[in-house]
Chains A and B, each alone.
Chain A
Amino acid sequence: MSSLSWNAVGPPSLPPVEGLHAKMNAILKHIAGSERLIDVRPASRLEVCPRPEMLATGISALDELTGGLPRGRLTEICGAASSGKTTVLVTALAAATRRHENCVLIDASDSFDPSSAAKAGMDFSKLLWVRCGTSLDAPASSGLKTKTLNPRDPRGTQKKTIVEHRLEQVLKATDLVLQSGGFGLVALDLAGIPQKFVRRIPLASWFRFQRAVEPTKTALLVVSEFQCAQTCATLALKLAALSHQPSRKPTHTQVFEGMRVETELLRSRLKRKPMQSVKAVFESKAVSAG
């Protein structure tokens, strides 16, 4: 009815400008005197956020560079294939489990190797390994019907690729784990997922994860080949392999001894950004090298 009367009569007559100013002043005064707003502090007087507790990664060079992984924050480690990012992930998980902290590894490409993790000293009883991926099998159809139809796609014409399915599982599992709480380190291993799919993870998801861990003592670690968490990451590191050569021995006894990894600090909200690139180097040893 109101729209009809508007069309019929035209816009209502506006109050005079002076009267409007007086009304605005009165409203501003009312807001300033409102009891609800008395406790609101101006931004200039806000307290500095306390430095978060740090979780040692177990790699001394990395801990010296960053201080460890911040609890209640999101840390991102990226690097190309064979850059040492999985080594950092496994070592950090091993160090945390050896401190009797419960940890979660959400493995997007189901590529975690328990035997090399055991060599790194991981306590498996403290690790929850979520293997995303191949389980595309839905419950068998039955007399008891469950709502399986997608309301946006009732005929099921849009089929998801396996990678998209894996990423969906990663996001769901991460949400569930973070809501559950009580874990010391939650690691998302997105390595092996193509860049175009990783980039599709909405920024809102990263903000949600960051908000979920903020009031907790959980350190959230994301490992991928590309930067994906963007501004949500409190700490971002980039890894690159400096060298990985077999030993200089006769051909039939050549052994792959390990990797020399360079770590570059891309982003840190914990301290002032350095003027020049800060790097650290560490070496890892291959299992076969003894």
Chain B
Amino acid sequence: MAFACIFVPDFPAQAIVRAEPELRAHAVAVIAGQPPLEKVVSTNEQARRAGISIGMTKLQAGLSGEVMSRDRSELQESAAHCALLDCAQSFSPRVEDAAPDTVLLDLSGLEKLFGPTPKMARGIYRRASQMGLETNVAVASTLESALVAAHGFSGVTVVPTMKEAQCLGSLPVEVLFAEEADAEKAEEFLQTFHRWGIRKLRDLASLPEVDLSERLGQRGLELQRKARGMGARTLVPGDPPLRFEEAQELEFPLVLLEPLAFLLQRMLEHLCARLEARALAAQELRLELMLENGRPSDPALTGFERTIRLPVPLLNPQTFLKLLQLDLKAHPPGAPVVKVVLRMQPAKPRPGQNGLFLPSSPEPEKLELTLARIAAVVGGGRAGSPALLDAHRREAFEMRRFTPSAVAFWSAVIESPVAREALKNSDSRAPAPLVTALRIFRPPVDVKVGCENGKPCHISYSKEKQLSRKVLWAAGPWRSSGDWWEHDAWLRDEWDIAIEKDGGLALYRLVHDLLNGKWMLEGGYD
């Protein structure tokens, strides 16, 4: 049996640094509490070197000019904890969520997948580092040894089997109380140990058990077993929910899109790293912004939400960022932003293998970006695939999202005999019906029409002289009507007419709206 413990030292400070990586080189002190009694609750190594310690007041911490103080953020700690769980889940399905900064995992039987235990430990450390967390990783044969080693040694530690007591002996007794919820009791035990002159775990491990039991009871024996690397604790695996969310509260409201893009990039990178660790991709992006003064249209509305649904699951932070940027440019929030929440809906990644003999198809990542950019050029809803509606009225179609799915189509053809038969019947080499195309005028051109014997004989259009001509011939009328039970009922006669234009003939579809008596050119045959 092998267990691993991943411990994040100075967790509140690391959660802040994870969200703001530029602070990594600075001394950071995390402040919590109600003003004016705010105190330092966590620091990083640089801050400790600068003389900042936990429990200092905000004013004391501020005296050292080089320390960056930040308010404690539950949102960022929650995101960092989720990242820690994802890191553990990417190695083992049996993971115990021991504390916000500690995760235990069972590594039994994983050697074939990830190699020997030391390699696995280094892999866990590297993965956590990719997720923006500096961790201590310890691997041991018992959970207690792994826990104590992770709290006591920095970096990667592999505790050899049967040599736990030797390995852990050099650690101070304080590490035994790292998980202790009752701080007063822990302090009491520590004072006792210090009175006895016990500073290291090896000192505690060498005490006679009976005498220790007489003085400190069962708790004392439990601590001694822990110091010897022995234990009876069992792993309690949990099934953490798939929640991919990053949030950040801003100290100063963001007014420009450019700094917001930097922030989003960082959040997207974190989320993508977490999704990758779980072998998942994103199907939907949801961006929630908290606005400082509310929207211009309604100051009471301080929330702003945008959702980007992807036709295929993707996992590329650059693509996501560009999509969000284009979407925000087209739909700006309208007020300075004070809080950003980014959520991703996970989905299984799409199969990457395309068929050898399939027609070429645009790459989904590129296509999404291209469609978003085109929409930014021509306007939203003006680029896509048309779909005819089941109606006879003019312009009975709607624009749908363009989603070419060659792989899905061909897999359906391969798997389904019905689809294969349908494909066989729809022979692409069969001659297509050669239909005279119509070019629609959007909007239709209102013209004046002179009639003779009920047929149009002359049309005139004030804005274009070329359209003011004698009608050479007219075919029709074709009467159609519909929606008489609605407000927008329609009843019209259609004529196909020819007029002289540029020395040749030009063919148009002339429509007489019988409800309002207007004549208009609906389109031209070409």
A-to-B contact residues, CB < 8 Å: 58-60, 80-87, 89-91, 94-95, 98-102, 109-121, 124-135, 137, 139-140, 142-146, 169, 172-173, 176-177, 179-184, 191-192, 217, 240-241, 244-247, 251, 254-256, 258-259, 282-288
- In the assembled complex, B256 has its CB within 8 A of some CB on chain A: yes
Instruction: Write out the residue numbers on chain A whose beta carbons fall within 8 Å of the beta carbon of B382.
Output: 130-132, 135
Q: Which residues of chain B in 466-508 are interfacial with respect to chain A, using CB atoms and an 8 Å cutoff?
A: 473-476, 478, 496, 498, 501-502, 504-507
Question: What separation, in Å, do the CA atoms of A85 and B439 have in the docked complex?
Answer: 11
Question: What separation, in Å, do the CA atoms of A142 and B384 have in the docked complex?
Answer: 28
* List of 5 A-B pairs having minimum Cβ-Cβ separation, nearest first: A135-B379, A182-B362, A256-B496, A142-B332, A86-B526
**Given A129-B384, A130-B378, residue A58 in contact with residue B455 (CB < 8 A):** no
Q: Is there an interface contact between B404 and A126, defined as CB atoms closer than 8 Å?
A: yes
Instruction: Write out the residue numbers on chain B whose beta carbons fall within 8 Å of the beta carbon of A258.
Output: 436
Q: Is there an interface contact between B524 and A81, defined as CB atoms closer than 8 Å?
A: yes
Instruction: Write out the residue numbers on chain B whose beta carbons fall within 8 Å of the beta carbon of A192.
Output: 439
B474: min CB distance to chain A, Å: 8
Q: Mark B80-119, 1 if CB is under 8 A from A, else 0.
A: 0000000000000000000000000000000000000000
Besides A125-B385, A135-B379, 14 new A-B residue pairs in contact (Cβ under 8 A), listed by A number? A80-B506, A81-B501, A83-B526, A84-B526, A91-B432, A102-B404, A120-B434, A133-B442, A144-B257, A144-B336, A173-B383, A176-B370, A182-B362, A256-B507
**Given A127-B385, A144-B255, A191-B526, residue A176 in contact with residue B332 (CB < 8 A):** no
Instruction: Write out the residue numbers on chain A whose beta carbons fall within 8 Å of the beta carbon of B439.
Output: 86, 109, 111-113, 191-192
Instruction: Write out the residue numbers on chain B whose beta carbons fall within 8 Å of the beta carbon of A82.
Output: 501, 504-507, 524-526
| Stretch in B191-199, B227-235, B323-331 with 4+ CB within 8 Å of A | B323-331
Q: Is there an interface contact between A143 and B525, defined as CB atoms closer than 8 Å?
A: no
Q: Is there an interface contact between A182 and B361, defined as CB atoms closer than 8 Å?
A: yes
B516: min CB distance to chain A, Å: 23
Q: Which residues of chain B in 338-359 are interfacial with respect to chain A, using CB atoms and an 8 Å cutoff?
A: 358-359
Instruction: Write out the residue numbers on chain B whose beta carbons fall within 8 Å of the beta carbon of A191.
Output: 439, 526
- In the assembled complex, B406 has its CB within 8 A of some CB on chain A: yes
Name the residue on B nearest A217 (C-beta): B360
Question: What separation, in Å, do the CA atoms of A83 and B501 have in the docked complex?
Answer: 12
B-to-A contact residues, CB < 8 Å: 254-257, 260, 291, 293, 296, 328-337, 358-363, 366-367, 369-371, 373-374, 377-379, 382-388, 396-397, 399, 402-404, 406, 409, 426, 428, 431-442, 455, 473-476, 478, 496, 498, 501-502, 504-507, 523-526
Instruction: Write out the residue numbers on chain A whose beta carbons fall within 8 Å of the beta carbon of B328.
Output: 144
A-B contact count (CB 8 A): 263
Name the residue on B nearest A245 (C-beta): B473
Instruction: Write out the residue numbers on chain A whose beta carbons fall within 8 Å of the beta carbon of B374.
Output: 130, 173, 176-177
Question: What separation, in Å, do the CA atoms of A181 and B370 have in the docked complex?
Answer: 10
Instruction: Write out the residue numbers on chain B whose beta carbons fall within 8 Å of the beta carbon of A246.
Output: 473, 475, 496
A169: min CB distance to chain B, Å: 5
**Given A143-B255, A254-B475, A287-B436, residue A114 in contact with residue B362 (CB < 8 A):** no
Q: Is there an interface contact between A144 and B367, defined as CB atoms closer than 8 Å?
A: no
Instruction: Write out the residue numbers on chain B whose beta carbons fall within 8 Å of the beta carbon of A113.
Output: 437-440, 523
- Contact of A130 (CB < 8 Å), options: B335, B383, B432: B383
Instruction: Write out the residue numbers on chain A whose beta carbons fall within 8 Å of the beta carbon of B363.
Output: 180-182
B422: min CB distance to chain A, Å: 13
Instruction: Write out the residue numbers on chain A whose beta carbons fall within 8 Å of the beta carbon of B383.
Output: 128-131, 173
Q: Is there an interface contact between B333 and A90, defined as CB atoms closer than 8 Å?
A: no
Instruction: Write out the residue numbers on chain B whose beta carbons fall within 8 Å of the beta carbon of A251.
Output: 455
Q: Is there an interface contact between B388 and A118, defined as CB atoms closer than 8 Å?
A: yes
Instruction: Write out the residue numbers on chain B whose beta carbons fall within 8 Å of the beta carbon of A285.
Output: 433-436
A137: min CB distance to chain B, Å: 7
Q: Is there an interface contact between B359 and A102, defined as CB atoms closer than 8 Å?
A: yes
**Given A82-B507, A113-B440, A135-B378, residue A181 in contact with residue B362 (CB < 8 A):** yes
- Contact of A179 (CB < 8 Å), options: B370, B379, B436, B501: B370
Question: What separation, in Å, do the CA atoms of A198 and B505 have in the docked complex?
Answer: 22
Question: What separation, in Å, do the CA atoms of A82 and B399 have in the docked complex?
Answer: 27
B454: min CB distance to chain A, Å: 9
Q: Is there an interface contact between B507 and A184, defined as CB atoms closer than 8 Å?
A: no
A21: min CB distance to chain B, Å: 56
Q: Is there an interface contact between A87 and B385, defined as CB atoms closer than 8 Å?
A: no
Instruction: Write out the residue numbers on chain A whose beta carbons fall within 8 Å of the beta carbon of B496.
Output: 246, 255-256, 286, 288
Instruction: Write out the residue numbers on chain B whose beta carbons fall within 8 Å of the beta carbon of A134.
Output: 379, 442
Question: What separation, in Å, do the CA atoms of A128 and B374 have in the docked complex?
Answer: 11
B318: min CB distance to chain A, Å: 15
Question: What separation, in Å, do the CA atoms of A142 and B334 have in the docked complex?
Answer: 4
Q: Is there an interface contact between B362 and A81, defined as CB atoms closer than 8 Å?
A: no
Instruction: Write out the residue numbers on chain B whose beta carbons fall within 8 Å of the beta carbon of A176.
Output: 370, 373-374, 377
Q: Is there an interface contact between A114 and B386, defined as CB atoms closer than 8 Å?
A: yes
13 contacts between A and B (CB under 8 A): A82-B524, A90-B437, A91-B434, A98-B428, A101-B360, A120-B432, A131-B383, A144-B328, A172-B377, A181-B362, A254-B474, A259-B507, A286-B496
**Given A100-B406, A125-B404, residue A140 in contact with residue B507 (CB < 8 A):** no
**Given A111-B442, A283-B434, residue A139 in contact with residue B330 (CB < 8 A):** yes
Q: Is there an interface contact between A87 and B361, defined as CB atoms closer than 8 Å?
A: no
Question: What separation, in Å, do the CA atoms of A124 and B330 have in the docked complex?
Answer: 26
Question: What separation, in Å, do the CA atoms of A197 and B433 have in the docked complex?
Answer: 34
Q: Is there an interface contact between A101 and B504, defined as CB atoms closer than 8 Å?
A: no
- Contact of B367 (CB < 8 Å), options: A58, A121, A127, A182: A182
B507: min CB distance to chain A, Å: 4
Of listed B328, B358, B373, residue having the most chain A CB within 10 A:
B373
Question: What separation, in Å, do the CA atoms of A121 and B429 have in the docked complex?
Answer: 12
